Amino acid sequence: MHKWITFPHREGVCSKQAHADFPQEAIYEREAGRSGFFGPASHFHHQHAPTGWSEWDGELKPRAFDFSDVETATQTSPWAVPHLLHNANCKVRVWKFDKEMSHLVRNADGDELLFIHQGKADLFCDYGHLKVTEGDYVMIPRSTTWRIEPHEPMFVLMIENTDAAYTLPEKGMVGNHAIFDPAVLDVPKIDEAFKAQYSDQSTQVHIKRHGDVSVVTYPFNPLDAIGWHGDLAVVRVNWRDIRPLMSHRYHLPPSAHTTFVGQGFVVCTFVPRPIESDPGALKVPFYHSNDDYDEVLFYHAGDFFSRDNIEAGMVTFHPAGFAHGPHPKAFKAGQEYKKKFTDEVAVMIDTRHALEFSDEAKQVENQQYIYSWQEK
């Protein structure tokens, strides 16, 4: 444990409250904070937008990728698709398929979180049968055996929590039932659909460990459980089950929307909500410096109100080390309070350690994204 050096101080012209009632001399606020919005922070008031750069030279820069265009994402096995963004704790991939898996799979490296961007399917696993559809998160504990039978083309975002377990966030003073009640979590069932796939046919299990795949063959289908009990299982929650924290007088930080906690990263979900209504409250995401975390946003659906020219299936990547925030048109619209409600759905992954991006990600990068904050 460590004790931060903290001492509340005010200097020059500044607001009394973060994200609200800015001084007229400087409408641009920038938050510099530690530990991803949980540590000490200062709020600067600037005369110019912190994203108002005219040129950028170097690899540390904001990036945008269109994961819809990743050609190598179409495979019959999730272990055959490449990592797109990754570090020692977190591996991000996309997987597209429309045919029934011919084998079972198991991840011995860590928990797997599937976000169903498109499609509808049946998932069969050690715990039973689960119907999955667009907008579902499906958390698969480490070393669970599973397969998916699609009913329509699938586009799945995969977030591996390497060598660790996913947990739910601590909800503090708002209580255990805020954001989503744990009672909404679904688990697989030993139902008739599960029993129907019992079989004495030879079945392969493709097990991934340290990135390598081993194949184990059984003279039967090992998904043959007749029951189970305990508090470890595959669980599902849909973004529509999430009821976001809101404040009409204060723009809440992204950490308020945490859905799952991994080892060295968090997964947050942005869902439709009313926009702050207080006249002095900031109505778009605030400019902030990524001082400790890389930020990844996967855009699922809706109108992404803080971004221009971003479509569903695209990803933005803002590494630690510089300030970023809304694009100029979004900032201006927020000042004018043109929108009263957001309709965006997005998955955010904030990682404590730097992410690397693969050649497959580079092939679908928008090289002009760095200039998208420039006034048109």
Is there a binding annotation on residue 294? yes
Active site residue 251: yes
Q: DSSP state, 276?
A: P
Q: How many CB atoms lie within 10 A of CB 177?
A: 12
Distance between CA atoms of residues 285 and 295, nearest Å: 14
Please give the sequence-ordered ranges of beta strands (E in DSSP) within 190-307, or none if there are none.
Answer: 203-209, 212-218, 235-238, 258-262, 265-270, 273-274, 287-289, 294-301
Q: What's 368's DSSP letter? A: T
What would the 3-class secondary structure string for 280-299 be? CECCCCCEEECCCCEEEEEE
Query: Which H/E stretch holds residue 94?
Result: strand 90-97
Which strands form 41-46's sheet, in the order they lie side by side? 41-46, 28-33, 287-289, 323-324
The whole-angstrom separation of Cα 335 and Cα 195 is 57
Query: 132 near 120, Cβ under 8 Å?
Result: yes
Question: What's at 304, amino acid-wise?
Answer: F
Side-chain-side CA neighbours of 202 within 13 Å: the count stands at 3
2 among the known binding-site residues?
Answer: no
Question: Which is the catalytic residue, given 83, 251, 300, 318?
Answer: 251
Q: Is 353 annotated as a binding residue?
A: no
Residue set of the binding site for Fe cation = 288, 294, 324
Residue set of the binding site for homogentisate = 324
Positions marked active-site: 251
Residue set of the binding site = 288, 294, 324
